[in-house]
Amino acid sequence: QVQLVESGGGLVQAGGSLRLSCAASGRIFRINGMGWYRQAPGKQRELVAGITRLGNTNYADSVKGRFTISRDNAKNTVYLQMNSLKPEDTAVYYCNAEIYNSIGSLAITYWGKGTLVTVSS
């Protein structure tokens, strides 16, 4: 019913930048919160950044001042601008979104399949 597709991952040197995008499509009435998570090898998935429909944001301490989350409600898309990347930022990055499929429905959290970000030292 709903798909979230991430793009923009890749290999970058330490100190470089990448911009991730995540577009939601399908049966969507409204999207509330959207976010980015990441999972490094051998570690648990962790929240990187979140953004409400009105644009309020929150960040993990490890990325504050380096990453910026934003969204385009008209395009059902969330972005993550990542600057000053470090090797410890290497992970698979996943987006998620809380979506109402129709009027009166309950919100469902959907996940993308992830995009790999590799930061070389």
What string of H, E and C letters represents the secondary structure of 44-66? Answer: CCEEEEEECCCCCEEECCCCCCC
User: Average of pLDDT values for 63-77?
Assistant: 98
Q: Show the beta-strand stretches assigned E in the chain.
A: 2-7, 10-13, 18-26, 30-39, 46-51, 57-59, 67-72, 77-82, 91-100, 107-111, 115-120
- The 10s digit of each residue's pLDDT in 14-48 is 999 999 999 999 999 999 999 999 999 999 999 99
The two structure tokens encoding residue 51: 């953004």
Q: How many CB atoms lie within 10 A of CB 100?
A: 16
pLDDT of residue 104: 86
Average per-residue pLDDT for the chain: 97
Report how far apart, in Å, the C-alpha atoms of 66 and of each of 47, 50, 63, 89, 116 are: 15, 14, 5, 11, 18
Q: How many CB atoms lie within 10 A of CB 115?
A: 22
The percentage of the chain sitting over the pLDDT mark of 70, rounded to a whole number, equals: 100
